[in-house]
Structure 1
Amino acid sequence: MSRPHALLTRAPHQARPALSVMGELSFAQMRVHELCGRARRTLAAWVAGAVQAAAPGPVIWVAPAWEKDALFAPGLAGLCASERFVFVHPTRPEDVLWTLEEVLRSGAAPLVVGDLPGLPGLTQVRRLHLAAETGAAASGGRPLGLLLTPGQTGGAPGVESRWRLDPAHRPEAAGWRLTRLRARTAPVRDWQVRQGAAGPELAGATG
């Protein structure tokens, strides 16, 4: 009689490769993460800069055609290489997530950003995770997906992590408050972010 395979193991869980943006601000690759808060687009631009420094290829930014708030390309200067951005503006709500899924599945871009008008469902997020893994297998890369959601607390189900960025500028310097709202292996935590000579940097935890 053959010995049944063990269902449990004491071997440590193998961590996914991660993209480090600054300090503890890092993102597991081949997964989808959520960004919220008033400065969520600034946070996405920081992630884009880190991705561009690590991998070739375009950044695909998907936003509804009816969205009034559009990225100001000159404002991206100093944060990331705006000339590597490709903007896609679907005209139907269902096509926003469909576009994200197809780009992730292709593996053609190291970073795909979805500027969403609302929260996706759990099934939709799971499909995006699977698409990112499929894209990695097809291209040999490590595609990363970001979901930008309205509001201060986010709430997209099934995301790998959730981060919030809000402005906290002072008269003498630019600044932000960064909050890790959710992560599979890390607790909730706040940091102050300041604008350093070489770009934004974590100035210390606040909680």
Structure 2
Amino acid sequence: MEFWSARKLGAVQRRLVLGGPPSVPPPPGATRALGGPPSAPLPLPPLVGLEGAGNSADSAGRAAVFAGSEFMESVRFHVKSWLPARSIVLECLLSRGEVDPSGEIMVLDRFCPWKLHLFELEEELKIDPLTKYVLYQDVRSQSWRVQAVGVAPDRFESRKALPWRGMRDDELSAETGIPGCVFVHMSGFIGGNKTYEGALEMARAALKC
């Protein structure tokens, strides 16, 4: 009798707290299988709904602060990086004729996010012929990269891929006749040379292929 009184008390307790009908207590021995003492009521579930309701204002406040910080981070990125990069790409695009008479090779004197800016500026300025290769220095290795410009900002296909695909080092230098060659990617979208002069010669030679 003592066991059933305790079980019934537990069911009534849950009904008062949760507002639902009391569950039917399990038969004797069920709580023993679950590891609880025979006379103890089942543990009450956490009142998640009640706690969440009390913190809804705080949650909304935290969400607003997070959204505000994300917005400010985006503003800082555009002011400190994106907009200055456009000016750099514009300057380099307008001076490309000094790099090579073809006007199809552009040199970035400072590396920056350039791809989308280049496409936008070429369209705005009605550039013809379009840029085929962009040269820039790899800040880690201090060597130079020759990157073929894609047919679109979101396309991997190049306007004019580099030849000599998959070749490296001495084999590549022997094939091109250009000293200091490092590699050409298997897809031909990028290559490298130890010097600026060598990278420029690679781009000029690729235009003729």
TM-score, normalised relative to structure 2: 0.25
Greater fraction helix: 2
More strand by share: 1
Question: TM-score, normalised to structure 1's length?
Answer: 0.25
Higher relative contact order (CA 8 A, sep 6+): 1
